Amino acid sequence: MSDTPALYEGKAKILYPTEDPDVLLTYFKDDATAFNAQKKGTIVDKGIINCEITTHLFKLIAQKGISTHYIDRPSPREMRVKAVQIIPLEVVVRNIAAGSLCKQTGLAIGTVLPQPLVEFYYKDDAMGDPLLTLDRLYLINAATAAEVAELQTKALEIDRILTDFFGQCGITLVDFKLEFGIDKSGQILLADEISPDSCRLWLADESDPVKRILDKDRFRQDLGQVENAYQQVLDRVRSHS
Ligand code: UDP
């Protein structure tokens, strides 16, 4: 961990400045939270695992032509990233019904969606990250119509890339959350992380609804074997990268 005072400390990561104002250092913590931080705990070595998984996935996404804020990984828990202004939206892509989609629509968990669903949530912990309609999103100036169109296109392309990659790993990509930022030249970059903290990942060849879970739902629902699940995702991602 850097000696420099942090710029920002979030629930799972700490952001430090570097000597270059265009570069920041992200430190991945082992802290885990759920239900808007009402549940707190630790997942041993999660920071190292999520930093490496994010690195593999951001490199893959960049190879496929979508710019990310990733620069390099100077240590197991640290990622150097391009400084961006984060767009205050959580962009969720869903392929299979789970989580809040089931609670709010009555769809049964595991229902395969006819096409991927892209949703925008307002990134505001105090408000509990509410789901936004497009009109509300524009009303609060969270993004412009052109930015929303670009986010939607990028989110769907990332979904195709990750669904294909995780498929090769024997993992079903159920849903995931992305964050984007704008760099100093005005370009939209994929930011934050992609890890078992921010995705729902199910073992493709396991039908048991508990055994198949390889993501933060194991922590949210006290299912046990959390570290083991995260490590399995890393092992599979590593061996297919
Ligand atoms: N997600 C996230 N951060 C959040 C909210 C959701 O990374 O603050 C991820 C979550 O892990 C899942 C997807 O976004 O992969 C959809 O989450 P959902 O809306 O179903 O909410 P949840 O059931 O997790 O409350």
Task: Render pLDDT for 190-225 as a digit per residue (tens, 0 to 9).
Answer: 999 999 999 999 999 999 999 999 999 999 999 999
What percent of the chain lies above the pLDDT cut of 90? 98
DSSP state of 170: T
- Round the average pLDDT of the chain to a whole number and report it: 97
Atom of ligand 1 nearest to the CA of 174: 15
CA 141-90-35 angle, to 5 degrees, is 125
Q: 129 CA to middle of ligand 1, Å?
A: 10
Number of H helices, E strands in the chain: 6, 13
DSSP line for 185-206:
TS-EEEES--STTTEEEEETT-
Considering only CA atoms, which of 198, 187, 193 is closest in space to residue 84? 187
Q: Is the pLDDT assigned to residue 2 strictly greater than 90? A: no
For ligand 1, whether the C-beta of 176 sits within 6 Å is yes
For ligand 1, whether the C-beta of 200 sits within 6 Å is yes
Atom of ligand 1 nearest to the CA of 198: 7
* pTM, two decimal places: 0.97
What percent of the chain lies above the pLDDT cut of 70? 99
Atom of ligand 1 nearest to the CA of 98: 20
User: Which pLDDT score, from 0 to 100, does residue 126 have?
Assistant: 95
Q: 84 CA to middle of ligand 1, Å?
A: 23
Considering only CA atoms, which of 197, 204, 207, 203 is closest in space to residue 227? 197
DSSP state of 7: S
For ligand 1, whether the C-beta of 212 sits within 6 Å is no
Task: Classify 192 in phi/psi space as left (phi over 0), alpha (psi -120 to 50) or beta.
Answer: left
Report d(CA 164, CA 151) in Å as an integer. Answer: 20
Q: Tell which one of 57, 175, 217, 218 to mutate to probe ligand 1, the residue whose CB is within 8 A of the most ligand atoms.
A: 175
Assign 50 to helix, strand or coil: helix
Report d(CA 213, CA 121) in Å as an integer. Answer: 24
User: Which pLDDT score, from 0 to 100, does residue 121 have?
Assistant: 98
Q: 19 CA to middle of ligand 1, Å?
A: 34
